[in-house]
A and B are shown apart, each in its own frame.
Chain A
Protein backbone atom coordinates (compact mmCIF):
# COMPACT_ATOMS: atom_id res chain seq x y z
CA UNK A 1 0.00 0.00 0.00
CA UNK A 2 1.62 3.29 -1.05
CA UNK A 3 1.62 6.08 1.47
CA UNK A 4 -0.18 9.37 0.86
CA UNK A 5 3.16 11.03 0.31
CA UNK A 6 4.07 8.55 -2.47
CA UNK A 7 0.82 9.26 -4.24
CA UNK A 8 1.28 13.00 -3.89
CA UNK A 9 4.71 12.70 -5.45
CA UNK A 10 3.35 10.70 -8.36
CA UNK A 11 0.57 13.21 -8.97
CA UNK A 12 3.14 15.97 -9.10
CA UNK A 13 5.34 14.15 -11.59
CA UNK A 14 2.42 13.27 -13.86
CA UNK A 15 1.33 16.91 -13.73
CA UNK A 16 4.76 17.99 -14.92
CA UNK A 17 4.64 15.50 -17.76
CA UNK A 18 1.20 16.77 -18.75
CA UNK A 19 2.53 20.31 -18.82
CA UNK A 20 5.35 19.33 -21.15
CA UNK A 21 3.15 17.35 -23.53
CA UNK A 22 0.64 20.20 -23.54
CA UNK A 23 3.38 22.65 -24.52
CA UNK A 24 4.58 20.31 -27.27
CA UNK A 25 1.04 19.98 -28.51
CA UNK A 26 0.75 23.76 -28.79
CA UNK A 27 4.03 24.04 -30.69
CA UNK A 28 3.11 21.19 -33.02
CA UNK A 29 -0.32 22.64 -33.70
CA UNK A 30 1.05 26.02 -34.73
CA UNK A 31 3.70 24.39 -36.91
CA UNK A 32 1.07 22.06 -38.27
CA UNK A 33 -1.13 24.90 -39.44
CA UNK A 34 1.76 26.38 -41.37
CA UNK A 35 2.92 23.08 -42.83
CA UNK A 36 -0.61 22.17 -43.88
CA UNK A 37 -1.14 25.53 -45.55
CA UNK A 38 2.13 25.12 -47.43
CA UNK A 39 1.34 21.59 -48.52
CA UNK A 40 -2.12 22.59 -49.73
CA UNK A 41 -0.87 25.75 -51.47
CA UNK A 42 1.46 23.65 -53.60
CA UNK A 43 -1.28 21.43 -54.94
CA UNK A 44 -2.61 23.67 -57.76
CA UNK A 45 0.90 23.90 -59.18
CA UNK A 46 1.34 20.15 -58.99
CA UNK A 47 -2.06 19.58 -60.59
CA UNK A 48 -1.39 22.00 -63.42
CA UNK A 49 2.05 20.59 -64.01
CA UNK A 50 0.67 17.08 -64.24
CA UNK A 51 -1.99 18.25 -66.66
CA UNK A 52 0.58 20.05 -68.78
CA UNK A 53 2.86 17.03 -68.89
CA UNK A 54 0.02 14.70 -69.73
CA UNK A 55 -1.17 16.92 -72.56
CA UNK A 56 2.29 17.49 -73.93
CA UNK A 57 3.17 13.82 -73.86
CA UNK A 58 -0.01 13.06 -75.77
CA UNK A 59 1.08 15.59 -78.39
CA UNK A 60 4.69 14.43 -78.56
CA UNK A 61 4.27 10.71 -78.66
CA UNK A 62 7.52 9.78 -80.35
CA UNK A 63 9.64 11.81 -77.96
CA UNK A 64 11.84 9.94 -75.54
CA UNK A 65 14.24 11.05 -72.86
CA UNK A 66 16.83 9.14 -70.78
CA UNK A 67 14.71 9.79 -67.67
CA UNK A 68 11.76 7.98 -69.25
CA UNK A 69 13.72 4.87 -70.18
CA UNK A 70 12.33 1.66 -68.74
CA UNK A 71 14.96 -0.92 -67.91
CA UNK A 72 14.98 -4.33 -66.35
CA UNK A 73 15.11 -3.77 -62.60
CA UNK A 74 18.30 -5.12 -61.14
CA UNK A 75 19.01 -2.41 -58.60
CA UNK A 76 16.50 -0.04 -57.12
CA UNK A 77 16.77 3.01 -54.91
CA UNK A 78 14.33 4.06 -52.24
CA UNK A 79 14.09 7.64 -51.06
CA UNK A 80 12.95 7.32 -47.48
CA UNK A 81 11.36 10.48 -46.10
CA UNK A 82 11.08 10.28 -42.33
CA UNK A 83 11.10 12.75 -39.48
CA UNK A 84 14.08 13.98 -37.51
CA UNK A 85 12.49 13.62 -34.11
CA UNK A 86 10.25 11.08 -32.50
CA UNK A 87 7.12 11.63 -30.43
CA UNK A 88 4.84 11.62 -33.42
CA UNK A 89 2.83 8.47 -32.91
CA UNK A 90 3.09 5.54 -35.27
CA UNK A 91 4.21 7.68 -38.21
CA UNK A 92 7.81 6.51 -38.38
CA UNK A 93 7.12 2.89 -37.46
CA UNK A 94 4.58 2.70 -40.27
CA UNK A 95 7.14 4.13 -42.70
CA UNK A 96 9.92 1.84 -41.52
CA UNK A 97 7.71 -1.24 -41.70
CA UNK A 98 7.08 -0.39 -45.36
CA UNK A 99 10.78 0.24 -45.88
CA UNK A 100 11.60 -3.16 -44.40
CA UNK A 101 9.65 -4.84 -47.18
CA UNK A 102 12.16 -3.72 -49.80
CA UNK A 103 14.73 -6.34 -50.68
CA UNK A 104 17.88 -5.73 -48.69
CA UNK A 105 20.20 -7.02 -51.40
CA UNK A 106 19.03 -4.96 -54.33
CA UNK A 107 17.89 -1.74 -52.71
CA UNK A 108 20.01 1.25 -51.87
CA UNK A 109 18.54 3.84 -49.56
CA UNK A 110 18.53 7.60 -49.87
CA UNK A 111 17.27 9.07 -46.65
CA UNK A 112 15.77 12.40 -45.75
CA UNK A 113 15.32 12.78 -42.01
CA UNK A 114 17.32 11.35 -39.15
CA UNK A 115 14.98 8.49 -38.18
CA UNK A 116 15.40 6.95 -41.61
CA UNK A 117 19.19 7.12 -41.48
CA UNK A 118 19.17 5.49 -38.06
CA UNK A 119 16.97 2.70 -39.39
CA UNK A 120 19.23 2.07 -42.36
CA UNK A 121 22.32 2.00 -40.16
CA UNK A 122 20.67 -0.24 -37.55
CA UNK A 123 19.47 -2.82 -40.03
CA UNK A 124 22.75 -2.71 -41.99
CA UNK A 125 21.21 -1.82 -45.30
CA UNK A 126 23.17 0.05 -47.90
CA UNK A 127 22.84 3.80 -47.89
CA UNK A 128 23.64 5.95 -50.89
CA UNK A 129 23.16 9.36 -49.36
CA UNK A 130 21.68 11.17 -46.43
CA UNK A 131 19.78 14.43 -46.76
CA UNK A 132 18.06 16.77 -44.34
CA UNK A 133 15.10 19.04 -44.67
CA UNK A 134 13.86 21.83 -42.47
CA UNK A 135 10.53 22.49 -40.82
CA UNK A 136 9.53 24.45 -43.83
CA UNK A 137 11.09 22.53 -46.72
CA UNK A 138 12.91 24.61 -49.30
CA UNK A 139 13.01 23.96 -53.01
CA UNK A 140 16.80 23.74 -52.92
CA UNK A 141 16.62 20.86 -50.44
CA UNK A 142 14.20 18.96 -52.65
CA UNK A 143 16.31 19.74 -55.71
CA UNK A 144 19.39 18.25 -54.08
CA UNK A 145 17.61 14.99 -53.32
CA UNK A 146 15.97 14.63 -56.68
CA UNK A 147 19.14 15.59 -58.56
CA UNK A 148 21.07 12.91 -56.71
CA UNK A 149 18.45 10.30 -57.59
CA UNK A 150 18.43 11.38 -61.22
CA UNK A 151 22.19 11.07 -61.44
CA UNK A 152 22.11 7.56 -59.97
CA UNK A 153 19.47 6.64 -62.48
CA UNK A 154 21.19 8.20 -65.48
CA UNK A 155 24.51 6.58 -64.61
CA UNK A 156 22.72 3.24 -64.61
CA UNK A 157 23.55 2.47 -60.99
CA UNK A 158 19.89 1.99 -60.24
CA UNK A 159 17.07 1.09 -62.60
CA UNK A 160 14.14 2.24 -60.54
CA UNK A 161 13.62 4.94 -57.93
CA UNK A 162 10.76 4.94 -55.45
CA UNK A 163 9.83 7.47 -52.80
CA UNK A 164 8.42 6.34 -49.49
CA UNK A 165 6.79 9.18 -47.59
CA UNK A 166 3.74 9.98 -45.53
CA UNK A 167 0.94 11.44 -47.55
CA UNK A 168 -1.10 14.03 -45.74
CA UNK A 169 -4.81 13.30 -45.92
CA UNK A 170 -6.10 15.30 -42.98
CA UNK A 171 -5.09 16.13 -39.43
CA UNK A 172 -6.24 12.79 -38.11
CA UNK A 173 -5.09 10.56 -40.89
CA UNK A 174 -1.81 10.21 -42.71
CA UNK A 175 -0.85 7.32 -44.89
CA UNK A 176 2.59 6.03 -45.74
CA UNK A 177 2.81 5.65 -49.49
CA UNK A 178 5.28 4.46 -52.10
CA UNK A 179 5.40 6.44 -55.33
CA UNK A 180 7.59 5.80 -58.31
CA UNK A 181 9.85 8.71 -59.15
CA UNK A 182 11.90 7.18 -61.93
CA UNK A 183 11.67 6.06 -64.68
CA UNK A 184 8.97 8.45 -65.77
CA UNK A 185 7.71 5.90 -68.27
CA UNK A 186 4.35 6.73 -69.68
CA UNK A 187 3.91 10.41 -68.93
CA UNK A 188 0.15 10.31 -69.15
CA UNK A 189 0.01 7.68 -66.40
CA UNK A 190 1.63 9.97 -63.85
CA UNK A 191 -0.15 10.17 -60.50
CA UNK A 192 -3.71 10.03 -61.75
CA UNK A 193 -4.94 11.16 -58.33
CA UNK A 194 -3.26 14.53 -58.76
CA UNK A 195 -4.62 15.15 -62.22
CA UNK A 196 -7.80 17.04 -61.69
CA UNK A 197 -11.12 16.15 -63.27
CA UNK A 198 -11.40 19.31 -65.33
CA UNK A 199 -8.44 18.49 -67.50
CA UNK A 200 -9.34 14.96 -68.42
CA UNK A 201 -11.42 15.91 -71.45
CA UNK A 202 -8.60 18.11 -72.72
CA UNK A 203 -6.17 15.23 -72.60
CA UNK A 204 -8.43 13.11 -74.71
CA UNK A 205 -8.05 15.57 -77.57
CA UNK A 206 -4.42 14.61 -78.13
CA UNK A 207 -3.39 17.89 -79.76
CA UNK A 208 -0.14 18.14 -81.64
CA UNK A 209 2.12 20.56 -79.80
CA UNK A 210 4.71 22.90 -81.19
CA UNK A 211 7.78 23.41 -79.08
CA UNK A 212 9.93 26.46 -78.80
CA UNK A 213 12.92 26.25 -79.23
CA UNK A 214 12.40 22.48 -79.75
CA UNK A 215 10.92 19.47 -78.02
CA UNK A 216 14.20 18.09 -76.74
CA UNK A 217 15.21 21.33 -75.03
CA UNK A 218 11.84 22.08 -73.49
CA UNK A 219 11.15 18.57 -72.24
CA UNK A 220 14.80 18.18 -71.28
CA UNK A 221 14.30 21.08 -68.88
CA UNK A 222 10.74 20.33 -67.93
CA UNK A 223 11.26 16.73 -66.84
CA UNK A 224 14.02 17.34 -64.27
CA UNK A 225 12.06 20.32 -63.00
CA UNK A 226 8.99 18.16 -62.72
CA UNK A 227 10.90 15.61 -60.65
CA UNK A 228 12.40 18.29 -58.42
CA UNK A 229 8.98 19.72 -57.87
CA UNK A 230 7.49 16.33 -57.19
CA UNK A 231 10.10 15.76 -54.52
CA UNK A 232 9.39 19.20 -53.07
CA UNK A 233 5.73 18.35 -52.78
CA UNK A 234 6.56 15.01 -51.13
CA UNK A 235 8.64 16.80 -48.52
CA UNK A 236 5.78 19.20 -47.83
CA UNK A 237 3.30 16.38 -47.46
CA UNK A 238 5.68 14.57 -45.13
CA UNK A 239 6.16 17.65 -43.00
CA UNK A 240 2.45 18.35 -42.73
CA UNK A 241 1.88 14.73 -41.75
CA UNK A 242 4.63 14.82 -39.16
CA UNK A 243 3.32 17.91 -37.42
CA UNK A 244 -0.25 16.64 -37.49
CA UNK A 245 0.77 13.25 -36.14
CA UNK A 246 2.82 14.89 -33.42
CA UNK A 247 -0.01 17.16 -32.41
CA UNK A 248 -2.44 14.25 -32.17
CA UNK A 249 0.07 12.12 -30.26
CA UNK A 250 0.74 14.93 -27.80
CA UNK A 251 -2.94 15.63 -27.36
CA UNK A 252 -3.49 11.97 -26.50
CA UNK A 253 -0.58 12.05 -24.09
CA UNK A 254 -1.99 15.13 -22.36
CA UNK A 255 -5.44 13.55 -22.12
CA UNK A 256 -3.98 10.35 -20.69
CA UNK A 257 -1.96 12.27 -18.14
CA UNK A 258 -5.08 14.13 -17.04
CA UNK A 259 -6.93 10.84 -16.61
CA UNK A 260 -4.08 9.44 -14.51
CA UNK A 261 -4.09 12.56 -12.34
CA UNK A 262 -7.81 12.12 -11.80
CA UNK A 263 -7.43 8.45 -10.81
CA UNK A 264 -4.50 9.17 -8.53
CA UNK A 265 -6.32 12.03 -6.82
CA UNK A 266 -9.25 9.73 -6.13
CA UNK A 267 -6.95 7.09 -4.67
CA UNK A 268 -5.18 9.75 -2.63
CA UNK A 269 -8.43 11.04 -1.14
CA UNK A 270 -9.61 7.53 -0.31
CA UNK A 271 -6.35 6.78 1.44
CA UNK A 272 -6.45 10.08 3.30
CA UNK A 273 -9.97 9.40 4.56
CA UNK A 274 -9.05 5.85 5.52
CA UNK A 275 -6.14 7.21 7.53
CA UNK A 276 -8.35 9.73 9.33
CA UNK A 277 -10.88 7.03 10.17
CA UNK A 278 -8.11 4.79 11.42
CA UNK A 279 -6.70 7.53 13.62
CA UNK A 280 -10.14 8.36 15.04
CA UNK A 281 -10.67 4.68 15.84
CA UNK A 282 -7.32 4.53 17.58
CA UNK A 283 -8.09 7.61 19.67
CA UNK A 284 -11.50 6.34 20.74
CA UNK A 285 -10.20 2.85 21.57
CA UNK A 286 -7.40 4.40 23.60
CA UNK A 287 -9.90 6.62 25.49
CA UNK A 288 -12.15 3.66 26.20
CA UNK A 289 -9.21 1.62 27.47
CA UNK A 290 -8.23 4.52 29.76
CA UNK A 291 -11.73 5.04 31.01
Chain B
Protein backbone atom coordinates (compact mmCIF):
# COMPACT_ATOMS: atom_id res chain seq x y z
CA UNK B 1 0.00 0.00 0.00
CA UNK B 2 1.10 3.50 -0.63
CA UNK B 3 2.03 5.69 2.29
CA UNK B 4 0.30 8.73 0.86
CA UNK B 5 -3.20 10.07 1.24
CA UNK B 6 -5.23 11.45 -1.61
CA UNK B 7 -6.62 14.67 -0.23
CA UNK B 8 -9.48 16.54 -1.86
CA UNK B 9 -10.87 19.80 -0.50
CA UNK B 10 -13.98 20.83 -2.35
CA UNK B 11 -16.29 23.81 -1.93
CA UNK B 12 -19.45 24.59 -3.89
CA UNK B 13 -17.44 27.14 -5.87
CA UNK B 14 -14.44 25.06 -6.81
CA UNK B 15 -12.11 22.17 -6.15
CA UNK B 16 -9.64 23.99 -3.88
CA UNK B 17 -7.06 21.29 -3.38
CA UNK B 18 -6.38 17.89 -4.79
CA UNK B 19 -3.07 16.20 -4.16
CA UNK B 20 -1.20 13.31 -2.55
CA UNK B 21 -0.15 14.20 0.99
CA UNK B 22 1.54 12.53 3.95
CA UNK B 23 -0.76 13.70 6.68
CA UNK B 24 -3.72 16.00 7.34
CA UNK B 25 -5.02 17.58 10.51
CA UNK B 26 -8.74 18.30 10.63
CA UNK B 27 -10.82 20.45 12.99
CA UNK B 28 -13.35 17.77 13.98
CA UNK B 29 -16.45 18.48 16.07
CA UNK B 30 -14.81 16.72 19.00
CA UNK B 31 -11.40 18.27 18.65
CA UNK B 32 -8.53 18.19 16.21
CA UNK B 33 -7.57 14.95 14.61
CA UNK B 34 -4.53 13.97 12.63
CA UNK B 35 -5.07 11.57 9.79
CA UNK B 36 -2.33 9.32 8.45
CA UNK B 37 -2.62 6.85 5.60
CA UNK B 38 -4.31 3.52 6.45
CA UNK B 39 -6.77 5.17 8.74
CA UNK B 40 -10.00 3.27 9.45
CA UNK B 41 -12.91 4.45 7.29
CA UNK B 42 -14.42 7.37 9.18
CA UNK B 43 -17.12 9.87 8.51
CA UNK B 44 -17.13 13.03 10.54
CA UNK B 45 -18.32 16.57 10.73
CA UNK B 46 -15.81 19.36 10.80
CA UNK B 47 -16.18 22.84 12.23
CA UNK B 48 -14.72 26.10 10.99
CA UNK B 49 -11.01 26.11 11.63
CA UNK B 50 -7.70 25.10 10.23
CA UNK B 51 -6.75 22.15 8.06
CA UNK B 52 -3.03 21.44 8.10
CA UNK B 53 -1.59 19.47 5.24
CA UNK B 54 1.85 17.86 5.37
CA UNK B 55 3.46 17.17 2.05
CA UNK B 56 7.17 16.47 1.43
CA UNK B 57 7.85 17.26 5.08
CA UNK B 58 6.43 20.77 4.82
CA UNK B 59 3.22 22.01 6.36
CA UNK B 60 0.62 24.11 4.64
CA UNK B 61 -2.64 25.42 6.09
CA UNK B 62 -6.12 26.10 4.85
CA UNK B 63 -8.87 27.97 6.62
CA UNK B 64 -12.09 26.02 6.22
CA UNK B 65 -15.73 26.46 7.14
CA UNK B 66 -18.26 23.94 8.43
CA UNK B 67 -18.57 20.73 6.54
CA UNK B 68 -17.95 17.04 6.40
CA UNK B 69 -14.94 14.83 5.98
CA UNK B 70 -14.90 11.33 4.66
CA UNK B 71 -11.80 9.36 5.49
CA UNK B 72 -10.80 6.03 4.06
CA UNK B 73 -7.47 4.22 4.11
CA UNK B 74 -6.05 6.05 1.11
CA UNK B 75 -8.33 9.01 0.65
CA UNK B 76 -9.60 12.06 2.55
CA UNK B 77 -12.45 14.06 1.07
CA UNK B 78 -13.37 17.33 2.71
CA UNK B 79 -16.66 18.97 1.76
CA UNK B 80 -16.93 22.44 3.16
CA UNK B 81 -18.60 25.75 2.43
CA UNK B 82 -15.31 27.67 2.48
CA UNK B 83 -11.67 26.80 1.92
CA UNK B 84 -8.93 29.41 1.61
CA UNK B 85 -5.22 28.81 1.18
CA UNK B 86 -3.22 30.48 3.96
CA UNK B 87 -1.34 32.50 1.34
CA UNK B 88 -4.56 34.00 -0.01
CA UNK B 89 -6.06 35.25 3.21
CA UNK B 90 -6.75 38.95 3.25
CA UNK B 91 -6.44 39.88 6.91
CA UNK B 92 -8.07 43.31 6.68
CA UNK B 93 -11.06 41.94 4.82
CA UNK B 94 -11.50 39.07 7.26
CA UNK B 95 -11.28 41.53 10.16
CA UNK B 96 -13.87 43.74 8.48
CA UNK B 97 -16.19 40.76 7.91
CA UNK B 98 -15.87 39.76 11.55
CA UNK B 99 -16.76 43.24 12.74
CA UNK B 100 -19.78 43.36 10.44
CA UNK B 101 -20.97 39.98 11.67
CA UNK B 102 -20.62 41.17 15.26
CA UNK B 103 -22.75 44.21 14.53
CA UNK B 104 -25.39 42.09 12.83
CA UNK B 105 -25.52 39.68 15.74
CA UNK B 106 -26.47 42.52 18.07
CA UNK B 107 -29.56 43.26 15.98
CA UNK B 108 -32.52 41.63 17.61
CA UNK B 109 -34.92 40.93 14.79
CA UNK B 110 -32.97 38.34 12.85
CA UNK B 111 -34.83 35.49 11.23
CA UNK B 112 -33.46 31.96 11.56
CA UNK B 113 -32.13 32.14 8.04
CA UNK B 114 -30.30 35.41 8.63
CA UNK B 115 -28.95 34.20 11.93
CA UNK B 116 -27.52 31.10 10.28
CA UNK B 117 -25.89 33.21 7.59
CA UNK B 118 -24.39 35.65 10.07
CA UNK B 119 -23.13 32.88 12.31
CA UNK B 120 -21.50 31.19 9.33
CA UNK B 121 -19.88 34.48 8.28
CA UNK B 122 -18.63 34.92 11.82
CA UNK B 123 -17.14 31.42 11.99
CA UNK B 124 -15.51 31.91 8.59
CA UNK B 125 -13.84 35.18 9.46
CA UNK B 126 -12.64 33.91 12.83
CA UNK B 127 -11.13 30.84 11.15
CA UNK B 128 -9.44 33.02 8.53
CA UNK B 129 -7.96 35.31 11.16
CA UNK B 130 -6.79 32.42 13.31
CA UNK B 131 -4.92 30.77 10.47
CA UNK B 132 -3.46 34.05 9.26
CA UNK B 133 -2.22 35.21 12.65
CA UNK B 134 -0.72 31.86 13.61
CA UNK B 135 1.42 31.89 10.50
CA UNK B 136 2.44 35.51 10.31
CA UNK B 137 4.02 35.27 13.73
Contacts and interface: CB of A to CB of B under 8 A. Distances in A.
Contacts of A45: 10-12, 15, 79
A160 B113 CA distance: 25
Interface residues on B, range: 20 to 34
Contacts of A140: 113, 116-117
B42 A211 contact: yes
Contact of A218 (B13, B45, B113): B45
Interface string A202-219: 100001111111010110
A48 interface: yes
Nearest to A221: B45
Secondary structure of the A contact surface, majority rule: helix
Given A217-B45, A218-B44, A48 B12 contact: no
A41 interface: yes
A143 interface: yes
B107 interface: no
A59 B117 contact: no
B42 A139 contact: no
The 6 closest A-B pairs by CB, nearest first: A212-B44, A207-B41, A52-B70, A44-B15, A209-B41, A210-B42
B72 A48 contact: no
Interface string A96-123: 0000000000000000000000000000
Contacts of B45: 212, 217-218, 221-222
A242 interface: no
Interface in B68-109: 68, 70, 72, 77, 79, 81
Contacts of A143: 113, 116
Interface in B24-69: 28-30, 40-45, 68
Interface string A47-61: 011011001100100
B43 A48 contact: no
Contacts of B22: none
A222 B69 CA distance: 10
Given A45-B11, A209-B43, 19 more contacts: A38-B13, A41-B12, A44-B15, A45-B15, A49-B79, A52-B68, A55-B72, A56-B70, A140-B113, A207-B41, A209-B42, A210-B42, A212-B29, A212-B30, A217-B45, A218-B68, A222-B45, A225-B68, A229-B12
A149 B28 CA distance: 30
B77 A213 contact: no
A263 to B, nearest CB: 48
B14 interface: yes
B8 interface: yes
B14 A211 contact: no
Contacts of B81: 139
Contacts of B43: 52, 56, 59, 209-212, 215, 218
A133 interface: no
A192 interface: no
A232 B81 CA distance: 13
A42 interface: yes
Contacts of B116: 140, 143
Contacts of A55: 70, 72
B6 to A, nearest CB: 11
A220 B3 CA distance: 33
Q: Please indicate which of the listed interface residues B8, B29, B41, B77 has the most CB atoms of chain A within 10 Å of its own CB.
A: B41
Contact of B13 (A42, A207, A229): A42
A49 B15 CA distance: 12
A194 interface: no
A131 to B, nearest CB: 12
A213 B41 contact: no
Contacts of A52: 43, 68, 70, 77, 79
Which residue, of B13, B45, B72, B81, has the highest number of chain A Cβ atoms within 10 A?
Answer: B45
Contacts of B70: 52, 55-56
B42 A212 contact: yes
Given A212-B28, A213-B30, A48 B41 contact: no
